[in-house]
Amino acid sequence: MLSEKLKKGYVEVGIEKNDSVNKKEEIVESKNAYLEEWKTLIKAQDLPKALIRHFSYLADTPGYGRVLEGVMKVAISAQINEDCLFIEFPSDTLIATPPANLQHHHEWPESFRKLAAVHGSLELEEARLYLGDHGLVENYYLEKIEWGKTLDDPSKVYSPLVDYSDWWFYHPYTKNPTNEPALCFISHEDLSVADPVEQNAGALFLSRMSEILELYITPSTNENSTETKTSISLKPFLKLSRCVRQGLIHRNDLITLEPKLAETSWEHYPESINRIAIYDIGKPSQPVLKTFLPLELTPYEMCIHRDCLFVFSAGSIEMGTKFNLTVYDITSHDEIILLKELDSELIPSNEKYDLDVVSIAKHSSILITGDYLLFSFESLGYQDLRNFEFKVYNIRTLEYIFMQSIEEGWPNAAQLCDNEVFQYVDDKIRKISITNDTLNTELLQWTQDILRQERRFSIFG
């Protein structure tokens, strides 16, 4: 019995050794196969045509063959370096890795497995657009994303695409037209789940390449099918290497408020400072910084009136907590000029009340209504109730007119709608107006008052 077991054991070991040798031979053959294909590709006399043929697998949604052709027609050159295929485009480089080991992706959708069988990953280098099993989503984020239902294992929700610092995930409950998990966009900032799209991952990658290369090619409505497919047009993404708290368009340029971040965030953003910045966004995928102005405090809120930029900033300094409302001249987008400090307040650090700067900033607003600049903010923590102060300035002369406090309920930040100011307060809406240098308020009930105006201030809907 023992000798038979030993004999069988040796036989099994021998089989395992043979299997191992066979697998190694298969790997070598597989590597030789894709390398030969790559070598043929880079030597092709008609490179765009060869690239279209090679990357045809990316057009995995009807109509996207047209996008593939448009993208590959602008390719400049191709070369092999360090076991990767490099494709040069006018403004970026596509890096393709060898085929992936599909045994590691048996739980992924079949459409993704077909992509990984040709190239384990594709990366548009400068744009940081990555297609593949990237594994870059930390468990912290996976546990925070809300899908409408509780997931037994959040790690089983897969992301095939990284879009700069954001992701595309396979939705765990929603299917696309091919009955596979639908892709949806998720921002790293608020982790909100956008509406799912119809495209598979390959087609989505082509769409983003088309936008990043500023080709903006739309897919055809019918490709080898008797059924017409309506494609989803993806808007161009504006990519900045800075964290932006707020951005406004002024004379076709982008003006941003950019806060200083902790060093722990420098992995995702370069070393940052508090600043106002102006970008030329003629090419959305390649915004150009025109000028910037460093700030002492963190900028939270801004508004623009003609060529004046109003900014509310707050933060801690050595002497305490400081709040500023400042106006800048942005007539020339090549320079940001300080015009006037409209308001400044310093709360000494030895005050007995702790100030929640973020909460105060969150509920602040700068609004233009008629001939007035209305600056509203939460009172600075001296009361148990959340009081609001409204400071009113003449928009033409920038002179201070008056201030009025309202001590009622728990209001949110004031907002502008159709040149009227509203504030959500508990179960009511406060309507605010200024006439003859006087602040007038009216509480609207959730009855006919609201029904008559709900279409006008959908911001509360």
Domain span including residue 334:
246-460
CATH of the domain at 131: 3.40.1580
Q: Which residues pair with 317 in a beta bridge?
A: 320
- Burial group, residue 13, by CB count within 10 angstroms (0-12, 13-18, 19+): exposed
Q: Which residues contact 13 (CB under 8 A, 6 or more apart)?
A: none
One domain, residues 78 and 159: yes
Count of C-beta atoms within a 10 Å radius of residue 347: 18
340 contacts 326 by C-beta, under 8 angstroms = yes
pLDDT tens digits for range 408-458: 665 677 887 766 788 777 667 888 888 888 888 888 765 544 445 544 444
Interval 116-131: pLDDT, tens: 999 999 999 988 899 9
Residue 1 domain-assigned (yes or no): no
* Number of Cβ atoms within 10 Å of the Cβ of 71: 27
More confident residue, 370 or 385: 370
Q: Are residues 41 and 150 in the same domain?
A: yes
User: Which of 105, 135, 128 shows the shortest CA–CA distance to 118?
Assistant: 105
Whether 306 and 176 map to the same domain: the answer is no
The answer to whether residue 460 scores a pLDDT higher than 90 is no
52: in domain: yes
Query: What pLDDT is stored for residue 414 in this prediction?
Result: 80
pLDDT of 281: 85
Q: Write the DSSP symbol of residue 322.
A: E
Read off the DSSP letter of residue 269: S
- CB distance 143 to 154 below 8 Å: yes
SS3 11: helix
Residue 232 lies in a domain: no
Contacts 24+ apart (CB under 8 A), 408-415: 410/385, 410/386, 411/363, 411/386, 412/363, 413/362, 413/363, 413/364, 413/365, 413/376, 414/365, 414/367, 414/374, 414/376, 414/388, 414/390, 415/365, 415/367, 415/457, 415/459
Both 134 and 208 in one domain: the answer is yes
The total number of structural domains in the chain stands at 2
pLDDT tens sequence across 207-264: 999 988 888 888 876 544 333 333 344 445 566 767 788 889 898 899 999 988 776 6
Q: Torsion angle, CA of 186/191/196/199, rounded to 10 degrees? A: 10
Cα 338 from Cα 352, distance rounded (Å): 34
The rounded distance, in Å, linking the Cα atoms of 413 and 427 is 15
My answer on whether 329 and 275 are in the same domain is yes
Tell me the pLDDT of the chain averaged across its residues. Answer: 79
233 inside domain: no
Instruction: Return contacts of 383-386, CB within 8 angstroms, 24+ apart.
Output: 383/407, 385/410, 386/410, 386/411
Are 158 and 38 found together in one domain? yes
Q: Could you tell me if residue 3 is inside a domain? A: no
Domain end, chosen from 170, 194, 212, is at: 212
User: Is residue 328 domain-shared with residue 412, that is, in the same domain?
Assistant: yes
**Cβ contacts of residue 459 below 8 Å, gap of 6+?**
415, 417, 422
Residue 226, in any domain of the structure: no
- Asked whether residue 223 is domain-assigned, the answer is no
Which domain-ending residue is among 161, 189, 212?
212
2 against 365, higher pLDDT: 365
Q: Which ranges constitute the DSSP H helices of 352-410?
A: 357-362
Average pLDDT over residues 7-13: 38
Distance CA 182, CA 200 (A): 8
* Residue located via tokens 């932006």: 244
Same domain membership, residue 396 and residue 302: yes
Given a contact cutoff of 8 angstroms between Cβ atoms, the answer to whether 180 and 107 are in contact is no
In a domain, 92, yes or no: yes
Statement to judge: residues 31 and 95 lie in one domain: yes
Please check whether residues 24 and 113 belong to one and the same domain: yes
Both structure tokens of 410 = 């728990």
At residue 186, the 3 state secondary structure works out as: strand
Residues 168 and 33 in one domain: yes
Nearest to 433 by CA among 392, 389, 386, 381: 392
The continuous run of DSSP H or E covering 390 comes out as: strand 388-394
d(CA 170, CA 63): 21
Q: Considering 195, 212, 229, which residue would you say is the last residue of a domain?
A: 212
Is residue 327 located within the same domain as residue 417?
Answer: yes
Cα–Cα distance measured from residue 50 to residue 403, given in angstroms and rounded to the nearest whole number = 70
Mean pLDDT check: name the lowest of 53-57, 74-78, 152-156, 214-218. Answer: 152-156
Residue 397 pLDDT > 90, yes or no?
A: yes
